[in-house]
Structure 1
Amino acid sequence: MRSQVLATFTAQVLSVSAGTILWDGRFNDLTSSTDLNKWSWGNQVGPYQYYIHGPSAVTAYVNLSPDFKNPADTGSRQGAKITLDNTAYWNGQNMRRTELIPQTSAAINKGKVYYHFSLMRKDVNPPATTREHQIAFFESHFTELKSGWLSGSPGVSDTLLRWCVGGQTKWSTEWVAGVWHNVAYEIDFSAGTVGFWHSTGSDPLTRVVAPVSASTSSNGADWHVGVLELPRDGYPDSTEDYYWSGVYIESGDLTTSVAGPGSAPGGGSSSSSSTSTSRTSSLTTLTTSTTQAQVTTTSSVAPTTTTPSGCAASQWSQCGGISYSGCKTCAAPYTCKYLNDWYSQCV
């Protein structure tokens, strides 16, 4: 009996990370999506920048509800439904886009960090399988999820959800309706590598792709929580919904539990560090062995690589704008087109 209890407590401690939350985008600070309207370039408040969307009211593109989150994500009190409809064209572009960007000055582009989120689709308003969708991406697109038919590929449709590095697929699965995909990008900005952690439903994250070399490029304000859909002739627009939960960025050890650090407002502690401390204080005989096990199971030494001094942005990527520090040259045959003071793009 004692050994069973000991094993249970050990598993609980191992499931909690001592990581530090650098930025929390779990929608716990928002009453409704209309709170996103409070943000502007002149009034940069709240957890998100909100400027990449169509001309309709915010509720046409982003809505919040407890029904929209992963039920296993107890650190969030609600999730977000991000929508593409027939008005979701931003700034005169021919691509449909609804995207949120972290509003933070934290060092989310330094050292080794973990970008967390959960993603789900339904049979109602599903993402089109006949167009390429770029999901949870950086401006330089060094890593991202993709779904649907990849531009330039044979055939007319694709039912996979993919994780890509530099445009190359490193992992894929059938994107089945109603299944929550829990993700952490393991990004080492210093070493120039990125790895992929994944699980479904309530299962803890496991590393499914070890860190690989990548041209990691971020100015600390260019991670897009949302979706960009590339245009394709002959395929009319249809409304598409993407469900998001558990969005946050942490440093230190990786939180593998889908419940996330702490608990939603109104119940329990608010950080993974305090949760870990409270549990380990009653298990002092396990502290040393648990810490060693955490290091062994959740971290690894990535190979050291050198980030190229020059880089070329791919089609549709950002290539200029105020405060932008990523690639400013476009890969051939694309050119950098000015759209506004904050954004230029390779077209």
Structure 2
Amino acid sequence: MKFTLLSGLVAQALSVSAGSILWDGRFNDLTSATDLSKWSWSSQVGPYQYYIHGPSEVTSYVNLSPSFKNPADSGSSQGAKITLDKTAFWNGQTMRRTELIPQTTAAINKGKVFYHFSLMRKDTNAPALTREHQIAFFESHFTELKSGWQSGAAGTSDPLLRWCIGGQTKWSVNWDADVWHNVAYEIDFDANTVGFWHSTGSDALTQVIAPQAAGTSSNGADWHVGVLELPRDGYADATEDFYFSGVYIESGSITTSVAGPGSSSSNPGTPSAPSSSSAVPVKPSTSSASVAPVKPSTSSTSSSTTVAAVTSSAAPVKPSTSSASSSTTVAAVTSASAAPAVTTSKAGTKTCTRKSSAAPAATTSAGSCTAARYAQCGGKGFSGCTACASPYKCNKVNDWYSQCY
């Protein structure tokens, strides 16, 4: 009996904390969502970068509470409710989005790592079934969750929650209310593969999709914890809530218990102040699933390509060239934020560092100014520069976005 008890305790310990936490985003370090506003480009503190949101107060878009977490997630003191409301338009874009980015210098984009989170919705302020939502995605969209009607698909609505590689659905389930979906992306940045672990409620994670080839492009500052919703003509903007719990990244063996590793009082790799050495080297993907930086997929089966003016330190990223590519978000620097400077080492590795200077200022007339490479140059509701700096041309990606390349 003693042996059985001891064996059970050992097994429980191994399942609860199997790996090593690289970054802890479980909101344990935040007293309230207003703590997110302490972060800025000049004061990079806390577990998250907070800049992709609408113009209202932080509590319009993010709120924290113990009632927002998975009850089985004992490693978290609270969860987050991430909201899209009628004001949730960032940086003049036509898509609604509220997203958090890990603030860390840890090697979350190297080797084999596991990106953990749990996701839930309610019937109140439910995500629309008639519009595409991109959830917990990377800048190049090599893997992500999606919900709602997928751009370019037949019909008008879709009840599924999907896991995708390069826009191709690899797993799906009806997204019912009040069901916690526990997820881990198993990403091997060296092997260029992604696998999928999943469970519901308090059940332990199991690998439901073995690792598959993917263009695992990340600079360590481009995982979006939150949601981006693509616009769709004829469908009004309604308030939508997404609940997140148990957000962390680990290396080593995967933690399968939803209880998660023991609560941490600090976030490994999170600086208390900005540092010029905080840039994370970008590992260019060597997978055949990558293309030239930021060039949208030309696949005949691709869905609409969305370009986000992300003012993070991300270098231009490589979208997947899967036969059914997803809408792709790429970095476009605006004059309101620092432009990323890309340097190349002898080995050919790109490193992004934030510059204190803003991007080249445009004149007030859209017809007399030029947009830089990879910048937006057109689309519905766009009022900026429509001509591209030589030798680049303005290419239409979709009705909502044109880009210089």
Asked if 1:327 is matched to 2:317, the reply is yes
On the 8 A contact 1:313/1:319 being kept in 2, the answer is: no
Residues 28-107 of structure 1 correspond to what in structure 2 (within 5 A)? 28-107=28-107
Q: CA deviation at 1:16?
A: 2.9
- CA deviation after TM superposition for structure 1 residue 14, in Å: 3.7
Equivalenced residue count is 311
Matches within 5 A, 1:1-347: 1=1, 4-5=4-5, 7-263=7-263, 308=290, 310=292, 312-313=295-296, 315-317=305-307, 323-327=313-317, 338-340=333-335, 341-342=337-338, 344=375, 347=401
Structure richer in helix, relative to its length: 1
Gaps of 5+ in 1: 272-303
1:256-297 Cα distance to aligned partner (Å, 9 max, x none) = 0100001476xxxx99xxxxxxxxxxxxxxxxxxxxxxxxxx
AA in 2 matched with 1:327: V
Contact 1:99 1:225 in 2 (8 A): yes
Contact preservation (8 Å) 1:319, 1:326: no
The answer as to whether partners of 2:75 and 2:263 remain within 8 angstroms in 1 is yes
Distance in 2, matches of 1:337 and 1:305, equals 24
Distance in 2 between residues matched to 1:70 and 1:171, nearest whole Å = 22
Moved more, 224-233 or 256-265: 256-265
- Change in Cα spacing, 1:224 to 1:337, as seen in structure 2 (3 Å) is closer
Q: TM-score, normalised by structure 2?
A: 0.71
Q: CA RMSD in A?
A: 2.8
SS in 1 for 2:49: strand
Would you say the 8 A contact 1:187–1:194 is kept in 2?
yes
Deviations 1:229-262 (A, max 9, x none): 0000000011000000000000011110100001
Following TM superposition, by how much is the alpha carbon of 1:5 offset from its aligned partner in structure 2, in angstroms? 3.0
**Distance in 1, Cα, partners of 2:307 & 2:196:** 22
Higher relative contact order (CA 8 A, sep 6+): 1
Q: Would you say the 8 A contact 2:142–2:319 is kept in 1?
A: no
Name stretches of at least 5 consecutive residues in structure 2 with no aligned partner.
268-285, 298-304, 340-374, 377-396
Contact 1:218 1:326 in 2 (8 A): no
Q: Compared with structure 1, are the counterparts of its residues 209 and 323 closer, same or farther at alpha carbon in structure 2 (3 Å cutoff)?
A: same
Q: Give the percent of matched residue pairs that are identical in Structure 1 and Structure 2.
A: 70
Task: Report the TM-score when normalising by structure 1.
Answer: 0.82
Structure 2: how far apart are the matches of 1:22 and 1:264?
A: 11
Q: Secondary structure at the match of 2:36?
A: helix
Shift of residue 328, structure 1, vs aligned partner:
6.5
1:307/1:147 CA distance change after superposition, 3 Å: closer
Secondary structure, aligned partner of 2:83: strand
What is the CA–CA distance in structure 2 between the aligned matches of 1:319 and 1:190, rounded to whole Å? 28
8 Å contact kept, 2:39–2:50: yes
The 8 Å contact of residues 129 and 148 in structure 2, kept in 1 or not, is answered as yes
Question: Which amino acid in the other structure matches residue 84 of structure 2?
Answer: L
**1:13 positional shift:** 3.6
CA distance in 2, matches of 1:27, 1:165: 28
Measured in 1, the distance between the counterparts of 2:137 and 2:46 equals 21
Q: CA deviation at 1:327?
A: 2.2
